[in-house]
Structure 1
Amino acid sequence: MFTVRTRSLPERSAAIGSAGPFTLVVDRSAEAGGDGIGFSGGQLLYLAVAGCVSNDLFREADAAGIRLHSVAITVDGDFTGSPATSTEVAYDVELTGDADESELRVLVERVDRIAEIPNSLRQGTTVALRSLSVSRA
């Protein structure tokens, strides 16, 4: 099981996101009233796609005995409507490795079929509010 958490900085919209020992900054853009010092939720969603595909490419390449030299993933999408939802998410893969181009293409196609985050989005993973705790300052 994975657990992640965000905790806002005192009197600011910016928050530190953590997963175990790893951290990043989450924030709204300055134009949206934030400090503009971190990733927005939408950016994190698309970054999750890129990170998952990248990690899975290395994992599956290792399993196939392929050494990857470089991997770059670019993810595009946008948010529209009210409430906002993501438009289609599309990603591009650029990689170099020590296998034939046909083997590298098969690797990318395999990862596209099995990558956890893209598959979670494709299958419409349920998201539920589990609890709520509020207090007056």
Structure 2
Amino acid sequence: MVSIAVDLANVPGTEAALGWAGSHTLVADRPAGKAGGMGLGFNGGQLLALAIGGCFANDLRYVAHAKGIALGRIAVGVTLDLDGEPLIVTGARMTVTCETIDGSDPRPVIEAAKADSTVSNSVIRGFPVSIEST
């Protein structure tokens, strides 16, 4: 089994959190004026959408490299639908534009990435989340 770990801690002087994995960082915050948020970073829903889309963008490259296909422009958009109290994600829609350098049909690359995408396949299947206080 493989594990991925990230850490988050408050940003002094704000109510935002700095998240990191290795040498990569990002800021998580609420919109300015909401629950102490200052709009310094992404909210949780945006981070989830970025995880879905970012993973898929990477998977397009993984698949293309494995198949020896050179990709040109790629663009991925993700829209999350939220509903209920508490607010939860009820669905996600992803749009993908992918162009090959040689002009061949990119659909086989997109379909293979769809089959291999860690994040979207995990979300589709669901997984338990445990929350422990230390």
Give me the TM-score of the superposition, normalised by structure 1.
Answer: 0.89
- Residue 123 in 1 paired to residue 131 in 2? no
| Deviation per residue, 1:41-75 (Å, 9 max, x gap) | 11000000011000000010001010111211000
Could you tell me which runs of 5 or more consecutive residues in structure 1 were left unpaired when the two chains were aligned. Answer: none
Partner of 2:25: 23
2:133 is matched by which residue type in structure 1? L
For 1:73-112, list aligned pairs within 5 A: 73-102=76-105, 104-112=106-114
Q: Aligned equivalents of 2:63 and 2:127: distance in 1?
A: 24
- Residue 69 in 1 paired to residue 72 in 2? yes
Moved over 2 A (4+): 98-102
- Residue 35 in 1 paired to residue 18 in 2? no
RMSD: 1.3
The structure with the largest strand share of the pair is: 2
Q: Aligned equivalents of 1:128 and 1:25: distance in 2?
A: 23
Could you tell me which runs of 5 or more consecutive residues in structure 2 were left unpaired when the two chains were aligned. Answer: none
Give me the TM-score of the superposition, normalised by structure 2.
Answer: 0.91
Pick from 37, 55, 59: which aligns with 1:56?
59
- The percentage of aligned residue pairs carrying the same residue is 36
Partner of 2:133: 132
Measure how far apart 1:101 and its partner are: 4.0
2:101 is matched by which residue type in structure 1? D
SS of corresponding position for 1:48: helix
Measure how far apart 1:13 and its partner are: 1.6
| Deviation per residue, 1:77-114 (Å, 9 max, x gap) | 13221121102101001121124443x10110111122
Q: Which moved more, 1:43-52 or 1:29-38?
A: 29-38
